[in-house]
Amino acid sequence: MNLKKNSSGFTLIEILVVVVIVSILSVLGVQMIASGSVERNLQQHGRILQASIEYSCDQATLQNMPYGIKFYQAGYVFAQFVNQQWLEVLNNESLSPKEITDGSIFDLSLEDETTVLPEEPEDVPQIMCDSNGQISTFNLVISDATDKHHYLLESIDFWQVDGKWLDEKTKQ
């Protein structure tokens, strides 16, 4: 009697090779997605801050009252000049204080001079928007915790703020 085996299916070695290849591709894919999410978060921070600064300048013009932004190491606070003092904006959700908890780093330059950010918000804002809409001249670089990705916000004209990516050569 001649018994012939039908060999249909995959061997154990073939299955293991496929599992290893799929695992390697999965790890690479997750790293690429994670890297992109850092960039997306940084860009989102920059765009939200840009819109908030432009909005505060609009409010300064509409209310005929100067507005400002107080930056500190862990975030920023919007303020308005009322009764000869700078008070935190409390009645506007768009201008509510922001704590940065993802490790992003602010590098602020005013009139082309680097500013050391305090640990807590100071009494007077670093960036101000007059009631005529003119904003202080500034450059703000927002960097991720690894200092590999950088997003630049800069004043360009009256209450206009421009945002763009910086590469390593431009940052230095």
Could you tell me how many helices (H) and strands (E) the chain has, helices first? Answer: 2, 10
Instruction: Tell whether 2 is covered by a domain.
Output: no
Q: What percent of the chain has pLDDT over 90?
A: 44
CA distance 101 to 38: 13
Bigger pLDDT: 16 vs 109: 109
Q: Which residues contact 125 (CB under 8 A, 6 or more apart)?
A: 68, 69, 70, 79, 86
Instruction: Tell whether 60 is covered by a domain.
Output: yes
Instruction: Tell whether 111 is covered by a domain.
Output: yes
Please give the pLDDT value at position 4: 58
What is the model's pTM?
0.75
Residue 94: which domain range? Answer: 12-171
Q: What are phi and psi of 102, to 5 degrees?
A: -95, 10
Number of domains in the chain: 1
Instruction: Tell whether 5 is covered by a domain.
Output: no
Instruction: Tell whether 86 is covered by a domain.
Output: yes
Whether residue 38 is predicted with pLDDT greater than 80 in this model: the reply is no
CATH of the domain at 109: 3.55.40.10
Q: Encode pLDDT of 145-170 as tens digits.
A: 888 889 999 998 777 899 998 876 45
Bigger pLDDT: 68 vs 21: 68
CB 81 within 8 A of CB 131: no
CA distance 159 to 100: 24
Average pLDDT, the chain: 85
Find the mean pLDDT for residues 51-64. 91
Please give the pLDDT value at position 90: 87
Lowest-pLDDT choice from 2-6, 34-38, 67-71, 102-106? 2-6
Instruction: Tell whether 151 is covered by a domain.
Output: yes
Please give the pLDDT value at position 50: 92
